[in-house]
Amino acid sequence: MYSGDMSIDKNTEHCMVCGAALRYLRHAENLVCTYCGKNEQGHMQCPGGHFVCEACHRKDAMRMIEELAFTTDRQDPMEIAELMMGHPNLPMLGCEHAFVAAGALMAALRNSPYGRGKITNKDMREVFDRTAKQAVSGYCGLTGVCGIAPALGACFSVFLGSRCGADTEQKIVMDAVVGVSRAIADLTGPSCCKAYARSALMVSVTVFGERFGILLPVSETPLVCQHGAKHPHGCREEKCSYYQKPAGDIFAESIHLPAPACRS
């Protein structure tokens, strides 16, 4: 279980420095990280001039994700992902969710009867390293590729030993990524990284079951999202299969109270 500092007061929905809503730039600008002073090309900036580089933005979340992934003994990837997504260090949105999805899937595989002794922490580290090269904040909107897709592609690639020029292995990986990308695209409008991670993981679980006969245990209890109120762009609510509609009194409109008795 993660044992890091949970009292960090950084904002996780908007600007990490002051909490203001971020503005999205049409063209990348050379920006200076408020935390580490590094110069980096960026597409998102706080109206107050604050900018947080990719490394600083994901630093605290990655510490939690990696510790959970490397130490958990759970076999349900959805359960592992929900543990990560419920942690206060994880932003509502962001490419940290690519590492959540990849870490949850690889941890579940490692802990499964198939993976014991075959999937190692070194494999998990390789997946995280590959994911870091393609999961970049905001690029789901800038290029149409959500970082969760290559993250889960890295899982399949490491599992199969796929590489550039491989035959069947590379096709399987690409087919899996197409399925993941389709699941993500079907949930867009506006984007929600948590919904993306959930659906992409379910696609991956299905592929491992149907293609390789590796059955990862997934709870049959429907997932209900608890994070909608924090969404900076507005939760999709009823359009999202993970949304829980507010409870209402189904009898409210059908109850007729008796009129007060006449006392005249």
Which residue type is seen at 172?
I
CA 119 from centroid of its chain's CA atoms: 22
Position 198 scores a pLDDT of 96
Can you list the positions of beta strands (E) in the chain?
23-32, 39-45
pLDDT the model gives residue 8: 41
Per-residue pLDDT of the chain (264 residues; tens, 9 = 90+): 334 333 345 656 678 788 888 888 888 889 899 888 889 888 888 888 888 887 887 788 999 999 999 999 999 999 999 999 999 889 889 999 999 999 999 999 999 999 988 999 999 999 999 999 999 988 888 999 999 999 999 999 999 999 999 999 999 999 999 999 999 999 998 889 999 999 999 999 999 999 999 999 998 888 888 888 888 888 888 888 888 765 554 444 555 545 555 554
The pair of structure tokens assigned to 254 is 């059908």
Task: Please give the Cα distance from 96 to 135 (Å, whole number).
Answer: 8
Q: What is the pLDDT of residue 192?
A: 92
Whole-number Å distance between alpha carbons of 90 and 190: 19
In the chain, where the domains are located: 57-212
From CA 41, how far away is CA 22, in angstroms rounded? 16
At 246 the pLDDT is 59
CA within 13 Å, CB half, 28:
11
Amino acid 185 reads A
Contacts of 30 (CB under 8 A, 6+ apart): 39, 40, 41
Cα of first residue to Cα of last residue in the chain, in angstroms, is: 72
Answer yes or no: are the C-beta atoms of 177 and 169 closer than 8 Å.
no
Dist CA 46 CA 126 (whole Å): 33
User: Taking Cα atoms as reference points, which of 3, 99, 107 lies closest to residue 57?
Assistant: 99
Q: What pLDDT is stored for residue 76 in this prediction?
A: 97
CA angle 236, 237, 241 (to 5 degrees): 95
Report the alpha-carbon distance of residue 75 to residue 106 in Å, rounded. 10
Length of the chain in terms of residues written? 264
User: At 38, which amino acid appears?
Assistant: K
Q: Which residue type is seen at 39?
A: N
Long-range contacts of 54-59 (CB under 8 A, 24+ apart): 54/136, 54/137, 57/16, 57/91, 57/94, 57/137, 58/94, 58/95, 58/96, 58/99
Only one residue has tokens 């962001």, namely 94
